[in-house]
Amino acid sequence: MKIELVFIPLPGIGHRKPTIELAKRLVHSDDRLSITVIIIPSINNIADDSTYIASLSTTSQDRLRYETISIKDQPTTADPNQPTQVYIENQKPKVRDIVLRIVNDPTRRLAGFVVDMFCFSMIDVANEFDIPIYMFYASNATFLGITLHIQLMHDEKKYDLEFPCLTRPYPVKLLPYLFTSKQWLPLFLAQARKFRKIKGILVNTVAELEPHALKMFNNVGGDLPQVYPIGPVLHLEDEKQSEILRWLDELPAKSVVFLCFGSMGGFNEEQTKEIAVALERSGYRFLWSLHRASRNIMMERPGDFTNLEEVLPEGFLNRTSDKGKVIGWAPQVAVLAKVAVGGFVTHCGWNSMLESLWFGVPMVAWPLYSEQKVNAFEMVEELGLAVEIRKYLKGELLAGEMETVTVEEIERAMKRVMEEDSDVRDRVKEMAEKFHVALMEGGSSHVALQKFMQDVKEYIAC
Domain segments of the chain: what residues?
2-234+438-461, 243-435
Backbone phi, psi, residue 175, to 5°? -60, 130
Quickly state the pLDDT bin for 49 (edges 50, 70, 90): low
Q: Is the pLDDT of residue 307 over 70?
A: yes
pLDDT of residue 341: 98
Predicted confidence (pLDDT) at residue 263 exceeds the cutoff of 70: yes
Residue 287 contacts residue 336 (beta carbons within 8 Å) = no
For the segment 120-144, the average pLDDT, to the nearest whole number, is 94
- Phi, psi angles (nearest 5°) of residue 371: -85, 10
State the average pLDDT over residues 331-356. Answer: 97
pLDDT score of 77 more than 50: no
CATH number corresponding to 2-234+438-461: 3.40.50.2000
pLDDT at 221 (0 to 100): 56
Instruction: Say what the pLDDT of residue 364 is.
Output: 98
Q: So what's the architecture of 243-435 in CATH? A: 3-Layer(aba) Sandwich (3.40)
Q: Residues with Cβ < 8 Å from 274, sequence gap 6 or more? A: 404, 405, 406, 407, 410
Strand partners, 402: 395
User: Using CB atoms within 10 A of its CB, is residue 119 exposed (0-12), middle (13-18) or buried (19+)?
Assistant: buried
DSSP 3-state helix, strand, coil percentages of the chain (rounded to 5)? 45, 15, 40
Task: Name the DSSP letter for residue 77.
Answer: G
Is residue 73's pLDDT more than 90? no
With cut-offs at 50, 70 and 90, classify the pLDDT of residue 385. very high
pLDDT at 66 over 50: yes
Query: Of 52-66, 233-247, 339-353, which has the strongest mean pLDDT?
Result: 339-353
Check residues 250 and 43 and name the one with the higher pLDDT.
250
Pairing of strands 133-137, 64-68: unpaired
Global confidence as pTM = 0.93
Residue 90, Cβ neighbours under 10 Å: how many? Answer: 18
Q: What is the pLDDT of residues 202-260, one digit of tens each?
A: 999 999 999 999 999 986 556 889 999 999 999 887 777 789 999 999 999 999 999 99
What's the burial of 62, exposed, middle or buried (CB within 10 Å: 0-12/13-18/19+)? Answer: exposed
pLDDT at 326 over 50: yes
pLDDT over 90, % of the chain: 73
Average pLDDT along the chain: 91
Encode pLDDT of 180-214 as tens digits. 999 899 989 999 999 998 999 999 999 999 999 99
Identical fold for domains 2-234+438-461 and 243-435, yes or no, is yes
Among 238-247, 273-282, 308-317, 421-430, which stretch is predicted with the lowest mean pLDDT? 238-247
Are 291 and 267 contacting, i.e. CB atoms less than 8 angstroms apart?
yes
**Banded pLDDT at 81 (limits 50, 70, 90):** low
Per the CB < 8 A criterion, the answer to whether 259 and 275 are in contact is: yes
Confidence (pLDDT) at 434:
98
Instruction: Inform me whether the pLDDT recorded for 48 exceeds 60.
Output: no
Separation between Cα atoms, residue 157 and residue 159, nearest integer Å: 6
Which of 48-57, 232-241, 311-320 ranks highest by mean pLDDT?
Answer: 311-320
Strand ranges, E, within 55-132:
64-68, 108-116
**Is the peptide bond between 232 and the residue preceding it cis, with omega within 30 degrees of 0?**
yes
pLDDT over 70 for what percent of the chain?
93
Determine the 3-state secondary structure of 178 from DSSP: helix
Q: Where residue 74 falls among pLDDT bands split at 50, 70, 90? A: low
Q: Note whether 291 and 302 are within 8 A (CB).
A: yes
Residues 371-382 pLDDT 10s: 999 999 999 999
Tens of pLDDT, residues 1-14: 789 999 999 988 88
pLDDT > 70? residue 58: no
The whole-number pLDDT of residue 13 equals 80
The DSSP bridge pattern shows strands 2-8 and 33-39 to be parallel
**For the ranges 53-57, 347-351, 366-370, which has the lowest average pLDDT?**
53-57
Whole-angstrom CA distances from 338 to 361, 419, 436 are 10, 18, 17
Average pLDDT for 452-460: 90
